[in-house]
Amino acid sequence: MTDGRMQDFDLTLDRFLTHAAKWHPQAGVVTASSGRESRRIGYAELEQRCRKVSAALQRLGVSKGDRVATLAWNTQAHFEAWYGLMGMGAVCHTLNPRLTAAQLGDMAAQSGARLLIVDSGLLSGAVQIAKAAPGIRGILVIDPEAPLAEEAVAGVPVMLLEELLEAATPDVVWGAFPETSPCGLCFTSGTTGAPKGVTYTHRSSYLHTLRALQADVMGISAADSVLAVVPMFHANAWGLPFAAPAAGAQLVLPGRNTDGASLAKLIADESVTIGVGVPTVWLGLVEYVDEHGLQLPSLKRIIVGGSPMPPALMARLEKRLGVKVQTSWGMTELSPLGVIMPENAASRPADVAGRPAIGVDLMLTDSEGRPLTEQRGPEGHLRVRGAAVVERYFGAEEKAVDADGWFFTGDLARIDEAGLVRITGRAKDLIKSGGEWINPAEIEAIIGALPEISLAAVIGREDPKWGERPHLLVEVRPGQTISDEAILGALRGKVANWWVPDTVQRLKVMPLAATGKIDKLRLRAEYGQSPEDAKSGA
């Protein structure tokens, strides 16, 4: 007698779109177009176009395991490139258009990308990338708005992908490779250090998608219209291009325009129920809605991550827009979702990131990596492990995890008795003043709760006596006024007196990194010197 067995069924990402095409053919993808009617397509037709992309890439010599870079916004054409590449077993290396051509050229050279798929509006940057990455043998232009001005760049042909699709047929084989095959490559944002490449596999992203669809995570259903403001070039747009077709939900893509006016129109036109993006995006939306007295009744939930949610902004969004805000925390290395606040939690404080779902495990350690005896209550260094957590960075010889598989996130955190996680800061951001540590995140959370403040950041500024002192930088809400004394007064009695910054600096616009987070590297470079050194030009 033999044991029974289940079918072999590799968890490959093409299955999400194939499922949507068969069972949700009328749902699909909507792409905003500046000054024109939005483009829309059902999943059934979309699958056929994605298969044609695979066929066109095969004719150009792309095969399983090859890396192809994309430099594009959140559009249908970018979505097609994703599935066209991943379905055939190639690796989609997303490049961030907000980085410099030199940075992107270095990343493309590291990855060994064979082709570069680029939005027509970004072609000039793509030319510079191709010059810096000799492995690139062709540039494929998507979303053309005008005839091509380039036919070749340093011997590299420039082609319209749409023209190649005219001669392509959709009868290509998808899947037929191990689920452990790589599907994507994304470099970390580099807001706190040098960017590192993270390779996703079909299996890791498939399992991440199933986790995201859980009711207490993103809880996306076929009844939803999901606005993905989080970029497709950053951590797989938090998995939304996989989760939406898997659930049969409509996926709404904003293109490159993510200002308040553009998003408000898109939400109203497409009856968006769920919006996903970093806090600064929703600040722009609520400012626009307030200014023009608009209502967005279809919008039910906003999911935020990428940087801490200012409590004042969260309260404002929930009151003004009538939505529930779900906070979350994750990293590129986690595919990226780590923890999220359930939609129907009895209490949803802005400073609580949420709870991990099945597939993610957390542990707090001391600074030497020893597990804390008490995991509930004390602050510790956060470590993570799971099926969608990085084990080794791209091109690295050594593993990024310890002997037990735990990945050190670099974050500080507390876990309460209910299992809810508070990210209390970045270990690298801690300020050492007079031999004692100051946590900027705690100060930022208090100042960020002031209704007059849009954004707040604290950095260490050189000090001849104390080594470092906290320097507070703020962006005040338009039309609001608040004195330095009132800002600093909000800290009295809530943090130790010696934690209170000596100075407040007002910025017209807080500098943001390429992923929408506050750019602390730039803040430290521009404002981290002591006042005396800054004056002398040292």
Looking at 45, 180, 436, 437, which residue is catalytic?
437
Element (H, E) at 107: helix 101-111
Side chain identity at 502, as an amino acid letter? D
d(CA 77, CA 164): 13
Across 331-477, where does the E strand assignment appear?
337-340, 355-356, 360-365, 380-386, 407-415, 421-426, 431-433, 436-438, 453-463, 467-476
Looking at 179, 333, 468, 475, which residue is catalytic?
333
| Cβ 243 vs Cβ 228: under 8 Å | no
| Token duo for residue 379 | 């602050």
Looking at 188, 209, 280, 327, which residue is catalytic?
188
d(CA 471, CA 457): 8
Looking at 64, 319, 428, 432, which residue is catalytic?
432
Torsion region of 239: left, alpha or beta (phi above 0 gives left; psi -120 to 50 gives alpha) = left
Residue 188 falls in the annotated catalytic set: yes
Across 21-177, where does the E strand assignment appear?
28-33, 36-42, 67-71, 91-94, 115-119, 138-142, 152-153, 156-160
Residue bearing tokens 């104390």 = 466
Tell me: cis bond preceding 178? Omega within 30 of 0 counts.
no
In total, the chain counts a number of residues equal to 538
Residue 324 falls in the annotated catalytic set: no
Please list, in sequence order, all residues whose beta carbon lies within 8 angstroms of the beta carbon of residue 212, skipping any fewer than 6 positions away.
Answer: 218, 220, 238, 239, 243, 337
What does DSSP assign to residue 74? B
Residue 432 falls in the annotated catalytic set: yes
Residue 503 falls in the annotated catalytic set: no
Give catalytic residues, as residue numbers: 188, 333, 432, 437
